[in-house]
A = this chain, B = another copy of it.
C-alpha cells in the first residue's frame, strides 16, 4: 500500500507545490483523492499513466481541488480509453461534470460515472466497496458542499502460529478453513477459530481538507493510521482560517491527538508560507508524529 502526494498547495499553486491531489495505491487499485490543476502532469512526472486510474474522489468543487479533472478526462479520451471512469463528489457533481464536457471539445468513448453523495452532517457512508478495502465519505463544514474520505483496508484473520503449532499444524489445508473463521477437527481434536486465529485490523487513512474544526469531527476520523489533514494557516491566523473555513496547523494537531491518530501528514499549505516548518512545529507541539507532505512524497504502509 502506497500513498503518493501529487499536489500539496492551497488555492494558488507554487513553484514547489501543485494543487491538492493524493494518490493511494492498493493491490493495483489507483485511487485519486482530489484532482487539482496539473494532476495529469504530476502523474506523468511520477511515471504513472492516468489510464490506471478508475476512481477519483473529489472533496468539493473549489477549483484547487477539481480543476484537473477535465485534463484527466481528456487525456484518457486521447489514449482511447474504453473502461469506465468513476468520479465521486458532493451533491451537484453530475451537473458540474456535464458542464465541463460542454466547456471543452472532447470526444469520449468510455463511460463517465458520476456518483453524487448527498450526506448529512455526522453521517459516514461507504461509497466504494472493493475486496481489499472500503472507501467511505462524510460531510465537513466548508462554504462549498465538501466531503472528507476514509480509506479502510479490509481486516484480515491471521493464524496464531504459536497456537496451531501445538496441534502439529504447519502448512495444512485446515489452516485455510481456520483463516475463514471456521472451527475444524484435526486428529480428533476440535480447534476453534477464535483461539487459533486473530483479527489484524486493516489500515485506516483519512483524507481531510477544507473544513472548520467542529465538535463531531474527531469521532468521524477516529483511530486512523494516517490522518492527511490540511494545515492552511498558522494559529495566529485563526480568524482568517475561520473566515475562509480552513484549519490551522494547531487544530490539525489537536484533531490528530483527540482522534487517536497514529501519524499526521500536513498538506494544503497557504502560499504565504514559503517555509512550512513553523506549521509542522506548531502541530508537533500537540501531536508529535507529524510530517510535512511535499509533492512526490511517497508513504509506504506495510
Cβ-defined contact, A104 with B61, below 8 A: yes
By a CB distance below 8 angstroms, the chain B residues around A67 are 37, 70-71, 74, 104
Q: Complex: how many Å from CA A68 to CA B63?
A: 11
Cβ–Cβ contact B71 & A14, under 8 A: no
Number of copies of this protein chain within its complex: 2
Indicate if A80 sits at the interface (CB-CB under 8 A). Answer: no
Residues of chain B within 8 A of A96, CB atoms compared: 102-104
Residues of B within 8 A of A61 (CB): 103-105
A46: nearest chain-B partner, CB-CB: B15
Q: What is the CB-to-nearest-CB distance from A79 to chain B, in angstroms, rounded to a whole number?
A: 8
A131 vs B127: C-alpha distance when bound (angstroms): 58
* A112 CB → nearest B CB, Å: 13
In the complex, the answer to whether B104 meets A62 with C-beta atoms within 8 Å is: yes
Q: Are B11 and A75 in contact (CB under 8 A)?
A: yes
Whether the Cβ atoms of A11 and B78 lie closer than 8 Å is yes
How far in angstroms is the closest Cβ of chain B from A199? 42
Query: With the chains together, A228 CA to B116 CA distance in Å?
Result: 44
A255 at the interface (CB under 8 A from B): no
> In the docked arrangement, what's the CA distance between A106 and B96, Å?
12
The answer to whether B68 touches A37 (Cβ under 8 A) is yes
The reply to whether A14 and B44 form a contact with Cβ atoms under 8 Å apart is yes
Is the CB of A139 closer than 8 A to any CB of chain B?
no
List residues of A (8-32) whose CB comes within 8 Å of B's CBs: 11-15, 18
Give me 16 A-to-B residue pairs in the complex whose CB atoms sit less than 8 angstroms apart, sorted by A's number: A11-B74, A11-B75, A11-B78, A12-B78, A37-B37, A37-B40, A37-B41, A37-B71, A38-B41, A61-B104, A63-B70, A63-B105, A64-B74, A66-B104, A99-B103, A105-B144
